[in-house]
Structure formats: structure tokens, C-alpha cells
Structure 1
Amino acid sequence: MPKDNDTTDKDPACSNDDEKKHSQEEVVQSDEETIASLKESLEQSKQDYLLSLAELENARKRIQKEKHDSIKFAQESIITDFLTPLDNFENALGFAQNMNEEMKSWAQGFSMILEQFKDVLNQNNIHPFNSEGQVVNPHLHEVIEIESTTEMEPGIIIQEFTKGYKSGDRILRPARVKVSKAPAEENLDEQDQIKEDENLNKNKKEA
């Protein structure tokens, strides 16, 4: 009789080992994925923390700058209020040159006080600027008088009535000035005629 083919039954112990091995591999893979996810979360948390620190530092610097600017502007505002009395003080001392010796002696003492006031302005970075002979600038000058003249180009400052002051690049007070302008056409003709008559008279005298 022919023999039946032998069928080899799997060893239950081997089957259990395979299952355990497969299960362990799944656990290891799961742990690796968990670790990778935790690392990614940790890196993101680190970046968020650094960003928050940077924003906090920027906010601190901004608040500090705003506080500094506020104090600076308040100081400048107070000092600016003293500029007009300072101008009057300086103008009054200018008249002392025409007075007697006793008054000049008093004026000399007040001149020293005036210089102390100017030193305070310099220490606070507040300085006057010159205007006479300059081209008028609406950011620097307040025009309060205009004079027709042919002796200089139009728009040139002829006279400074009140000094202008700066703090760095900021204008604390514009200078009040008189500015030149070109004469009207009929005035030019009249002035030319006057000059021509003067030249004729001069030539007659020389002859």
C-alpha cells in the first residue's frame, strides 16, 4: 500500500517565538515613532520659547525707548519755554553797551549768568543755528517780513529777528526772519532810472 505523504505540524513553541518577535518589533517601531514625535514637539517648543523671549525683549526695548523719548520731549518742552525769556535777557544786555560804566559793570555780571544758561542748553544738546545769508527753508524759518531788493537773490534771509534752535536734527523753534524778493517790474524800471540819473550827475560833476 502506498504511504501517505507526511505532514509536518508546526511546533507551537516556534510559533509563539515568532509572534513574540513580531510583537517586539512593533513595540520598538512604535517607541521610535513616539521618540521622534517627542523630539519634534520638543524642538517646536524650544523655537516657540526662543521666539517668545525675542518678542519680550523687543517689547522691553520699545517700552524703554518710549519712556526715554517721553522724558526727553518733556525736558525739551520745558527748556523751549525758556527760550523767549532768554532772548529778551540777551537783547536787554545788548542795550547796556550804550549806558554808563556802572550799568556796564552790572551787565557784565548778568552776561555771565546768560552764559550759564547757554551752557545748560549745550549740555542738553540744544543749539541755536545761523540764518542770515542762508536760503529760506520752511522747515527752519518762519518768514514774518519780505523786502524787495536787487542787492541779493530772491529767497535769501536778510535779517534774523529771533534765533532758531535745534535738538539734534529736531527743530525746537524755527527762526523768525526777513526774506528778500525780486522787485516788481515797474519798481525795477524806476530803480534803473534813478541809477542812470545818478550816473549822469556824477559824470557832469567830473566834467
Structure 2
Amino acid sequence: MSDKNTPSDQEVVEQTIEQVEPAAEVEVEEGQLLSAEERIAELEAALAASNAKVEEQQESVLRAMAEADNARRRAAQDSEKARKFALEKFAGDMLSVIDNLERGLQLADAENDAIKPMIEGVELTMKGLMDAVAKHGVVQLDPVGQTFNPEQHQAMSMQESPDHAPNTVMLVMQKGYELNGRLLRPAMVMVAKAPASGIDTEA
């Protein structure tokens, strides 16, 4: 006959179940927590990758905008240069015409009444031609008295002169020209140099 205080088999099973169930719940909660942390890590990694891609795309857009802006600027500069210097060859060809008119005026006898009307006509033609080319940016270089500038002048000779500072343009043999600041033709000039010091070698 069993003792009344001795638990029955059913009671033992129930107690065992009660002890096991909390442990199982803890294991489930820990598993769920681990799974949630892994999911958070995955989401954070995906967010970081998305942010990196957005930044990369933003940089690509900025680069494309900068390149487009540079292309527009270059196109505008090229167009402006083309506009300014489209007449460069034509203007260069006109220089020989201007030179011939100038030489004709220099050689003409201004005291000869018979050719004075012709001289006046050539002078008017010369003035009209110079005004016309000036409207398109052609500028004459007549550097007499200026300091020699190798970027604009071509020295044909040098001569001692007590009346001119050394390296000064004494004479222009052929005038130079610029087109919108670009040299079309250098001026051909004679440049002054300091007189040689006289040294008396006699005893």
C-alpha cells in the first residue's frame, strides 16, 4: 500500500513538464533574439550598400554635369575664337594691298599739281580700307620710339644712335598688324644700340 505522501506517477510527470517548459521558452526567446539581431545586421548592411550606391550615383551625376558645363564652355570659346579669327587669312592677304598703297603714297610727288587729285584719291582709299579692317579687329603696329618687343617686332638691323635709348625702335621698315590681339605680322624695325665707347689707343 503506497504512502499518501508519495507523489503519483502523474504528479511526477506534471512536475517534470513544469520544469522543462520554462527552459524551452528561454531557448526559443534566445533563438528569436539571435534571429532578430542577424536580420538587423542584414538590414544595416543593405542600407550601407544602398547609401554607397546613392553616393556613387550622385558623384557620377556631378561629374556628368561638370563635363557638360566644360563642354559648353569650350564650345562657346571655340565659337568666339572662330568668329574673331575667321577673317585671319583674308586680313593677312589685305596687308600686301595696304603696303602697296602706303608705298605708292610715299613715292608720289606731293608737289606735282598734276597728280595731287590722284594722291588724294589714294589717301581716301587708304583711309577707307584701314577703317574697314579696323571694324573687324585689325590694328596697325607702328612702334617708332617704343622699346623693342620680340613678340611684336622683328629686328632687321641695329644701329648706334646717341639720340635714342638702347633697344629703342628707331625706324619701321614695314608696319606690323594684329587681329583681335593676335599677331598677324610683326613690324620689321631698326633698333638703336648704345654707341661704342671710343678708346684712345695712341701713346
- State the TM-score, normalizing by the size of structure 2: 0.70
Of the three residues 178, 185, 189, the one matched with 2:190 is: 178
Q: Gaps spanning 5+ residues in structure 1: where?
A: 190-207
Q: Secondary structure at the match of 2:190?
A: strand
Sequence identity percentage: 26
Aligned to 1:59: 71
Q: Distance in 1 between matches of 2:33 and 2:141?
A: 90
The one-character-per-residue Cα deviations of 1:80-115 (angstroms, maximum 9, x if unpaired) are 2211221211332342633325x3334434433322
Q: Secondary structure at the match of 2:102?
A: helix
Q: Secondary structure at the match of 1:150?
A: coil
Aligned to 2:110: 97
Q: Gaps spanning 5+ residues in structure 2: where?
A: none
Aligned to 1:10: 21
**Which amino acid counterpart does residue 98 of structure 1 have in structure 2?**
E
Relative to structure 1, the CA distance from residue 148 to residue 42 in structure 2 (aligned partners, 3 Å threshold; closer, same or farther) is closer
Once the two structures are superposed, the pairs formed by residues 24-173 of structure 1 within 5 Å of their partners are: 24-66=36-78, 68-69=80-81, 72-94=84-106, 95=108, 97-100=110-113, 103-173=115-185
Structure 1 residue 74: Cα displacement = 4.8
Question: With CA pairs under 8 Å and 6+ residues apart, which has the higher RCO, 1 or 2?
Answer: 2
For the pair shown, the structure with the greater C-alpha radius of gyration is 2
Write 1 or 2 for the structure with the bigger share of helix: 1
What is the aligned residue count? 186
Q: Secondary structure at the match of 1:132?
A: coil
Relative to structure 1, the CA distance from residue 184 to residue 39 in structure 2 (aligned partners, 3 Å threshold; closer, same or farther) is closer
Q: Secondary structure at the match of 1:10?
A: helix
Q: Distance in 1 between matches of 2:117 and 2:179?
A: 33
The one-character-per-residue Cα deviations of 1:141-193 (angstroms, maximum 9, x if unpaired) are 2222333333333333222121122235433211112233344556x88xxxx
**Which amino acid counterpart does residue 172 of structure 1 have in structure 2?**
L
